[in-house]
Amino acid sequence: MSNAMNLTRAQFDEVMVPNYSPAAVIPVRGDGSRVWDQEGREFIDFAGGIAVNCLGHCHPALVDALTTQGQKLWHLSNVMTNEPALELATRLVEGTFADKVYFANSGAEANEAALKLARRYALDKFGAEKDEIIAFNQGFHGRTFFTVSVGGQAAYSDGFGPKPQSITHLPFNDVAALEAAVSDKTCAIMMEPLQGEGGIIPASKEFLQAVRALADKHNALVIFDEVQTGIGRTGHLYAYMDTDIVPDILTSAKALGGGFPIAAMLTTAEIATHLKVGTHGSTYGGNPLACAVGNAVLGVVNTSETLEGVKQREQMIREGLERINAKYQVFSEIRGKGLLLGAVLNDKYQGRSRDFLVASVAEGLMALVAGANVVRFTPSLVIPEQDIAEGLQRFEQAVAKVVAG
């Protein structure tokens, strides 16, 4: 059918809402960390569908899980539960601090559930006055109106009418500002342990400790948005596991389904009691197909072999980027953790991250940006070493072209 219709990039402009501006390339097939477009041109994937394709494209374990479940049961809704959902929830509870799991379809929905739970918990336990949510500049928590208002980038939430109230934004990693802001009115502090969209900015140890201590002091909940950092991305199942603190609520999506839409909100039994029957829901949440794939993802990712492999691959990419930088002097630093890495442009190349992205595509490499000054890399957690080496070579060619002008 697609051949008969002659589907092209121009067709996008004819039939799609213009909120995206996709590349001219239309991929049609993927295998591991390689992707091919309509013309058969090959790309190495350092983008991973924005930290989603944690096992690359068409990983045999995921294909098998989806096709096997597809022969059994597709959908029930939450009028009934199902075996894949129970299995995945059990795995998540056994592998984390959490006692209870709520399933949704996307990171925004998981974050929406987390924020609603925090507000309801505070209302039930402390009264209507305790409703303030503290979040951080450059944070990103999704595109629903509540989550985009909590996110710290006003450009994404402006222009849609009155915003949800009682949301305070503070500078990230500023302990003094946090100490001054948190009060008994605060119901939750929401943050990414490593800001993704905001520029690959890690939370400092001191800041994390202050978040936890101040939340405890004022009976507020700590919400960790691990939509991008979760499922092995930083070399741990979740990034909080490599910090000194434990959140009260954690959200997970993106890589949880390895490319199949699924999300989860994790919390403790005591906090979970405040989402009693009827308070929140999702038609597709806990879908058997999605949960079957999620189980297969965890089966591969939550192993010492994969998690240690992430750290080795991080080292390879860091060293490669440092070599490129020694030659062309375009980056001020390489930051991030595991396979969520950002090459920060120096003063000479400010505002030009997209130029590096476009040049990369032209050289057969899929990469990302994190704002105007950071080139972002979020490849598969199991990307083969030869693909890393060749991808870096293609990126070097892209850098050379940008530098040459």
Positions annotated as catalytic residues are: 140, 225, 254
Q: Which residues face 189 on adjacent strands? A: 134, 222
What's the angle, vertex CA 101, arms to CA 95 and CA 103, rounded to 5?
120
Angle ∠(131,135,138) on CA atoms, nearest 5:
155
Establish whether 283 is an annotated binding residue: yes
Q: What 8-state DSSP symbol labels residue 38?
A: T
* Cα distances (Å, whole numbers) of residue 121 to 56, 89, 116, 166, 324: 39, 22, 8, 16, 50
Rounded to an integer, what distance in angstroms lies between the CA atom of residue 175 and that of residue 32? Answer: 42
**DSSP 8-state assignment for residue 35:** E
Pairing of strands 201-202, 340-345: unpaired
Query: Strand, helix or coil at 57?
Result: strand
386 is in an annotated binding site: no
- Residue 107, annotated as binding a ligand: yes
The single-letter DSSP state of residue 6 is T
Identify the CA nearest to 342 among candidates 201, 239, 136.
201
CA 17, distance to chain mean position in Å, is 24
How many Cβ atoms sit within 10 Å of the Cβ of residue 173? 18
Whether residue 268 is annotated as binding a ligand: the answer is: no
Q: Structure tokens of 319?
A: 């060293």
Is 227 among the annotated ligand-binding positions? yes
158 appears as a binding residue in the annotation:
no
Q: Locate 237 and state its tokens.
A: 């199942």
The letter for the amino acid at 393 is Q
Residue 344: how many CB atoms within 10 A of its CB?
21
**Edge to edge, what strands does the sheet with 340-345 contain?**
331-337, 340-345, 374-377, 368-369
225 in a known ligand binding site: yes
Contacts of 268 (CB under 8 A, 6+ apart): 97, 98, 99, 100, 248
Strand (E) or helix (H) holding 108 = helix 107-126
Q: Report the DSSP pairing between strands 365-366 and 42-45.
A: parallel
Residue 151 assigned as binding residue: no
Annotated binding site for N(2)-acetyl-L-ornithine: 143, 282
Annotated binding site for pyridoxal 5'-phosphate: 107-108, 140, 225-228, 283
